Amino acid sequence: MSDDITFEWVHIHYDETQSFTETYGFAGNQGAVNLEGVLIRPARVPSETLQIYMHPASTLQLLPVPREAARRGAHVLCAGSRYARNDTACILENVLLDLGAYIRHAKSVWGYKHVVLVGWSGGGSLSLFYQSQAEGPTITHTPAGDPLDLTRAGLIPADAVVFQAAHSSRAKLLLDIIDPSVIDERDPDVRDLALDIYAGPAQPPYSTAFIDHYRAAQLARVRRITSWVKDTLERLRAVGGAEKERGFVTHRTLADPRFLDAALDPNDRPIGRCYLGVPETVNSGPVGLARFSTLRAWLSQWSIDDTNAEGAATAARISAPLLFIENTADDAVPQYHCRSVYEAAATSDKQHVVIDGATHYYVGQPEHLERATSITEDWLAERKLLGR
């Protein structure tokens, strides 16, 4: 264990041809993809194993989890995708290519013998998606129908995957939290008050009948948006001109009754708050989940009927060892997500560990952060994947 850790900026560059530019600036519109990451290592502590933390649209080097792992002796790469800090145009199938480029570089250039994907938060479903396609690639097109052949991508499987404080997919998470009271997608003030948990008559504790109606209305809203997305893509293709994509806004995307009613999927999370703050404020604010999206990104990330990255489905196709870490006070991920993915996982080597009282970020919880890191260390050591 060492507090002396180093941070090294990493640049990965690889050629790729797209039919149109989907990323801003130099990141991916010059016939190549440019990726940035941060390699975090303890000074003078060698390792044969690299732990890779990757999120589809965030950078993770400032978070406590990877830093604690490095402080305790792990070599850690916080890998940014081409969509780092902006998921508006994020196509998850492209992110698999980005993650594959990092793994190839780690083995061929840096010389790491083992790679472990540590899928924290949104990185959990990404890691499962990657591993499923690396072990047995099947995808040849994105959900929008654009060619993207992962069967010829040469994705290198990781040696193990950690699913930590993670949701089963971005699409499933949005389905859980989208506000079904919105009637007019162009005007968020036109709402069905009977379905408005913030301004309507329904108050917690909610009845089973209300929740059933609410969940059905959430699914119906997602499918209405998806139908519009597909119709719009078809119109653009039919015109055959230079316009290939379109951006749009999805209003009110944080209205999960779980955040107001402790009896729903009970755990130790705070009531009346969530990982982004006050749910009602976030619901209409500019930083909500899926607030801004392109047509293709919606189908890849947010459409529950079209995404290829649903964790229960991808976990069922993986043979590598899987470790699942659930935090009981997680104020971001619904309680059932981790367990449903664990139950679906087909590998014979899987383990589910629960950390009582731990929150999503472990902020102000050094004892829980240390335990989570120790659990991962011990699990990897048992499989001779610790690397040192």
**Tens of pLDDT along 297-329?**
999 999 999 999 999 999 999 999 999 999 999
Do residue 236 and residue 114 come from a single domain? no
158 vs 65: CA distance, rounded Å: 20
Do residue 29 and residue 133 come from a single domain? yes
Do residue 293 and residue 164 come from a single domain? no
Give the pLDDT of residue 16: 79
The CATH number of whichever domain residue 337 belongs to comes to 3.40.50.1820
Token couple for 294: 């392109």
Give the pLDDT of residue 288: 87
- What are the start-end ranges of the E strands in 131-288? 160-164, 182-184, 187-191, 247-249
Do residue 116 and residue 139 come from a single domain? yes
The neighbour count for residue 104, using CB atoms within 10 Å, is: 16
292 vs 265: CA distance, rounded Å: 29
220 vs 224: CA distance, rounded Å: 6
Do residue 237 and residue 333 come from a single domain? no
Do residue 227 and residue 266 come from a single domain? yes
Give how far the C-alpha of residue 289 lies from the chain's centroid of Cα atoms, to the nearest Å. Answer: 11
Below-50 pLDDT ranges, the chain:
none
Position 387 in a domain: no
Give the pLDDT of residue 23: 63
* Domains contained in the chain, number: 2
Give the pLDDT of residue 31: 77
Give the pLDDT of residue 9: 97
Starting at the edge strand found earlier in the chain, the sheet holding 350-355 runs 5-15, 32-42, 75-80, 49-55, 114-120, 160-164, 322-327, 350-355
* Cis peptide preceding 205, ω within 30 of 0: yes
Q: Which domain holds residue 249?
A: 172-302
- What are the start-end ranges of the E strands in 199-308? 247-249, 292-294
Position 341 in a domain: yes
Do residue 177 and residue 120 come from a single domain? no
